[in-house]
Structure 1
């Protein structure tokens, strides 16, 4: 878990009072809501800046084709779009790995399927989206994950370097 740091802001008192009331009504933790808002702001701002300056963050180490390493050409876009399912699955993967050192498929599925406890990574149809990230064939999103030992999930070796380069945008 990341270390927490206090942030002091000067905001409109009525706005803060409404924020607190809504958080209480929804039974949300104010710090978690604020952290999510800041995280979303950062991701959306970076996405906007990248498109504004047309920065090409795509890596060309190994040649990606339509049926091999397809995800390499998409990773930078996923990193900047926190509402995309690919981003949410990678975010959940990295969080679990940071917490536990390894990722079990069942834990990843449960985290992405629990809207109440993990709204930032909730996906309505996890299995289908995850399956799309295990293959380069057809209309898939590109292979990112592999299942090993029957129950564990890891980043596919062929795209690991590219995924790790963008890890900070998923966490």
Structure 2
């Protein structure tokens, strides 16, 4: 059975193939792989498996989870750590943020909610540290995991956008 990351890769392959059929030079097409929380994992999987030879691809993710640590942390709240250790031990490689980060080479922006109590900032920092591509980390001050960005966050997000654009000199 395919994981949601593998479905994302299959979908991305179809989109890229369709795009390549319509463009003379499809490698120049800007591809933004975006994800939020759990959605970061399929975006990182696609980045690690499909985009190595696509020079105009970038990764833009918010609160990427180290799923094993998140599962164990949440299960500890319910005194179910022993039961969940097996679950966290058999997660597929396609949703292992630490492994994916070690294989991703695209320029990436990591948005990190400062007050995240689901994907703790120290878990996210581990993913950032494992990431082998160029990266720019943005702390979203005052925000919980699902907090909505406001005007106070505009300068740091715009700075990240400028950083990502500099990765592709025209």
* TM-score, normalised with respect to structure 1: 0.31
Larger Rg: 1
- The structure carrying a bigger strand percent of its residues is 2
